[in-house]
Structure 1
């Protein structure tokens, strides 16, 4: 995706820059034959995700042409580049501390966005994998993962520091920061056949998947669920749109790795 997914992917995620990834669950992957498992520890390498990163010398892909879904409200294309953090979730605890930040003037409430993201991270089909991995939200202090929702201009500027061109359309993952393009968060992707909240899940799962060390994957077969680490923004290649890394039985929904 849902790149830790940008132009819509299903158009809607160390010191080495990864290849960019587009929104909508568009990132890297593992082998289809062997059931890929999430890395034991989060990756420190930057991963590109325009809803889809990574390789010492990232290869650039042309930005897909996207026709955003109409939005009922005006979405600012740029902002001040300052962020407000969501409040900490004192009711939860977990292995990984993360923070949610929203760019000022974006029109998105940080606490509401954080609640959605918390639900995605804790979902049985998400990277929590039924309790095997857990996350807890902090408002300040050390956080190994920072999810930022930012305007297109701010996303481009921050992702550009890692050598990624998000074209004003997609998301990326740079080191510990997952940059979510405001346009994708608010309008989804015309390539993703599903509700907006599912597309948001794809964005987070795709980018966080990069953060956990996963690369891009492709369709494992016609009619099967598209991997969350697939750049669905470029087309489903016969697969069915899907926002989650696991199915209801806890089986990883992967596909062949993309070099």
Structure 2
């Protein structure tokens, strides 16, 4: 296994492949993502350890969604059991994934504890139909936006550390600590591609928002936009999660042939021919 440096334009290809693969199995991919979100939400409601458990399952769930993307690429319908792929690869891999989950939970909890010391953080407003206006006003407040900005800045290095780590642990048998190092290096060395990847997804989300705003304007119903916003956001998040597999696949070389289905270069060649 070695790092593969890809051109910046590959980031846009990752976005295209994510959208294309999601549309091949929209019911399965969206259903799996919603299932993961539901489990995470239920775990977070448990007293004392709930939030820790919700954080701990993130690396394993990320791997499960990547495995589901592999299944979709092979023309198969990903079943719900694919979400627990990380725990079906033997005790050693399962133990390593649990360690990775514990490290991720510790990092996220550290951010949660540090942010209030850096910013006088207001509580996150609970938006309900009766308090929607007040909730939107609170979210637009400068203090709240500053809190979100600081949180995102602190989470960025954590995201880079754990971006490829679950796949490296599961498919390459790399230790959790080493997987964090390799993930961070891969993201930094392919910073141009990841920048374009982020901009590409920002454009997709922005475009969907504009379309929804136009539909709302034509129908004259603000209720329609409020009702469609959350389901649409979750659907877009599911589509985004489908693209994560491609960022891993093209960032490393010497993945077993059975785990590969095409490449970003192949996608470029296909685009050129069309």
TM-score after normalising by structure 2: 0.25
Greater percentage in helix? 2
Larger Rg: 2
